């Protein structure tokens, strides 16, 4: 499968995204995606293509990944460079699945589960305004999510109080206000749904510990990104002191950064972001490495539809999956505008007898999705080609 050209597609209705098509001589097309700083990543993909992709065998995924990674590492790792590599990697795996006529997870070692356990991150506006509702009406939002079969919801009620002091000081009144949505959830639905708290790395260690201590009576399922990843020592101190499982890693780049976090004991669950950390193959490698520390993986999954489905393939495969993040606003409203054949949310019997929301496994060859003709045929779409 010789690579003949690399094409990027953008659409003004979705300015956050750049989609990648890697074309081969036998007419196959692999699909990738970048979801943040998409303009910069698009330029990098076209810069890399002549030297590392055009004329190369698309089946040599690890070889091509390593060549590009080692080239980028010379100039400091991370950012748009890794997002570009992540999109390329996903497109190559899509081609591999299409070549063999099987879903990607079959190439990774097969499915470890029949459906994928998920939780809802409360992002959303317009028809599904979860972003506003968890602050203003958390109890009714929780009840709605329970009715839909979700076992866990993630919210970030303390973020608004970090900016005035740059996360250096948290007053007692602000702490109590941040707890209000958590109290409302427990008052409305009890323990019928897990509560995950996202802190976005906005706080220093003393404030993060105060928040964690205040959350203890509410039995939260985990606390995520309590501290910025630059200080491994502070992360380890927080993980040792925290009563709840500690999730960290979404901003780390490649398995080499995760090794230090795991060896130091800085997390009890890791949440690598598939695109930010270097692609589908790298997410699988991180999950396998974490398994050696008895640490489960909970992939960070707030990208676009291609990222979402690529993460689903890894989630279907790895035995150490904890949960897969999803955003119901995206899967119901945004993603169907962009791709076809999106795997659906299904209901299956849960351990307590209630119907539980899970994602069906992707079924088609490769990723099992394609960029919609509504995007590709729209005259407003722009394309750039390197061959």
Which residues are the active-site residues?
200, 300
**What pairs with residue 196 in β-bridges?**
154, 222
**Phi/psi at 153 (5° precision):** -130, 140
* Helix ranges, 203-271 (H): 205-215, 232-241, 254-264
Residue 19, SS3? strand
**Phi/psi at 24 (5° precision):** -120, 165
Closest C-alpha to 250, from 200, 310, 306: 200
- Three-point CA angle 208, 213, 215, nearest 5°: 95
**Phi/psi at 32 (5° precision):** -135, 180
Angle, to 10 degrees, between the axis of helix 254-264 and the axis of helix 232-241?
50
**Phi/psi at 325 (5° precision):** -70, 140
Q: Contact at 8 Å (CB) between 93 and 59?
A: no
What CA–CA distance (Å, rounded) separates 223 from 203? 13
**What pairs with residue 19 in β-bridges?**
9, 33
Q: Contact at 8 Å (CB) between 275 and 307?
A: yes
Residue 277, SS3? coil
What CA–CA distance (Å, rounded) separates 284 from 293? 15
DSSP state of 292: T
Could you tell me how far CA 303 lies from the centroid of its own chain? 6
């Amino acid at each position: 499968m010789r690579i003949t050209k690399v094409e990027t597609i953008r659409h003004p209705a979705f300015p956050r995204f750049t989609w990648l098509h890697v074309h081969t001589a036998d007419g196959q097309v692999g699909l990738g995606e970048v979801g943040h700083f998409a303009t910069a990543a698009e330029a990098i993909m076209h810069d890399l293509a002549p030297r590392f992709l055009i004329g190369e065998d698309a089946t040599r995924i690890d070889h091509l990944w390593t060549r590009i990674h080692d080239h980028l590492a010379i100039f400091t790792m991370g950012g748009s460079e890794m997002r570009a590599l992540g999109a390329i990697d996903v497109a190559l795996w899509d081609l591999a699945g299409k070549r063999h006529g099987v879903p990607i997870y079959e190439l990774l070692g097969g499915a470890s589960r029949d459906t994928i356990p998920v939780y809802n991150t409360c992002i959303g506006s317009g028809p599904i305004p979860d972003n506003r509702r968890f602050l203003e009406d958390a109890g009714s939002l929780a009840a709605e999510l329970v009715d839909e079969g979700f076992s866990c919801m993630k919210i970030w009620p303390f973020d608004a109080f970090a900016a005035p002091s740059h996360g250096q000081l948290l007053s007692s009144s602000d702490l109590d206000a941040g707890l209000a949505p958590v109290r409302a959830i427990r008052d409305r639905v009890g323990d019928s749904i897990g509560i995950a708290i996202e802190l976005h790395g906005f706080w220093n260690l003393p404030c993060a510990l105060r928040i964690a201590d205040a959350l203890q009576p509410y039995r939260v399922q985990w606390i995520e990104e309590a501290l910025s990843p630059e200080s491994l020592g502070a992360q380890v101190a927080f993980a040792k002191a925290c009563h709840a499982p500690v999730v960290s890693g979404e901003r780390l780049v490649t398995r080499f950064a995760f090794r230090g976090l795991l060896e130091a004991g800085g997390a009890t669950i890791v949440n690598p972001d598939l695109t930010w950390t270097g692609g589908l193959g790298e997410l699988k490698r991180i999950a396998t490495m974490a398994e050696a520390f008895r640490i489960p993986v909970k992939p960070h999954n707030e990208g676009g539809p291609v990222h979402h489905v690529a993460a689903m393939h890894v989630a279907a495969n790895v035995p150490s999956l904890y949960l897969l993040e999803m955003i119901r606003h995206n899967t119901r409203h945004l993603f169907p505008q962009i791709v076809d054949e999106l795997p659906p949310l299904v209901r299956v019997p849960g351990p307590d007898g209630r119907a539980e929301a899970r994602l069906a496994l992707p079924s088609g060859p490769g990723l099992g999705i394609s960029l919609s003709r509504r995007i590709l045929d729209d005259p407003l779409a722009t394309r750039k080609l390197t061959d």
